[in-house]
Amino acid sequence: MGGQCMIRLLVRGLPAWTLSIVCCLIILYLTLLPGPLNGNHVSLFEGADKVVHAIMMMGMMMCMAVDALRKKAAHRLDDSVRAPKGLLTVYMITVVLFGGAIELLQGAMAMGRGEDWADFMADAAGAVIGWIICLSAWSVTVRWLFREQQE
């Protein structure tokens, strides 16, 4: 129980949009730098990189949602229990465009990486999956994250 309390305090105490910025920087590092893992290539299965793309964009979507939740809930907890579908949809579209921009940059930079439609589709799928998770888990997350304020 102590670990959960520490996580709640950490997430609630972070400056605005910290999770989203850190996630964005990690994704940019992993996708735009040549050999970001110092040549350590892990071969799992055919198409594993597509799964990684989906997970990265799902994570980006979820970080943006948690940052929005923190900002919204800090002002009025009662209004934040229902997921803001419109705002989360804007975030999903933003994450899809972010994935597309990364693919275009990979092609334009000519650093050994090329743009790939399949990567973009995996990015979009990850954003949509993240959107669905955020809509589904919004009220549960609010209650968990701000439990002390509700009592």
Domain ranges of the chain: 2-31+48-150
Q: What pLDDT is attached to residue 83?
A: 82
pLDDT band at 39 (very low <50, low <70, confident <90, very high): low
User: pTM of the full predicted structure?
Assistant: 0.83
* Six token digits for residue 46: 């055919």
Q: pLDDT at position 7, please?
A: 74
**Residues 40-49, buried b or exposed e (16+ Cβ, 10 A)?**
eeeeeeeeee
DSSP 41: -
Q: In sequence order, what are the residues at sequence separation of 6 or more whose Cβ sits closer than 8 angstroms to the Cβ of residue 147?
A: 8
108 neighbors 39 (Cβ within 8 angstroms): no
For residue 24, give every residue at least 6 positions away whose Cβ sits within 8 Å of its Cβ, in sequence order, or none: 60, 98
| 135 closest CA partner among 83, 100, 92 | 83
Query: In the structure encoding, which two tokens stand for residue 128, read together?
Result: 């949509």
- pLDDT at residue number 147: 65
Q: At 150, is the pLDDT very low, low, confident or very high (cuts 50, 70, 90)?
A: very low
CA gap 27, 53 in Å, rounded: 9
Residue-level pLDDT at 148: 58
Per-residue confidence (pLDDT) for residue 151, from 0 to 100: 46
Q: 49-106, pLDDT tens digit by residue?
A: 899 999 999 999 999 998 888 776 555 555 556 788 999 999 999 999 999 999 999 9
Q: Where are the alpha helices (DSSP H) in 14-145?
A: 18-32, 48-75, 85-109, 117-145
- Predicted confidence (pLDDT) per residue in 111-136, tens digit: 777 788 999 999 999 999 999 999 99
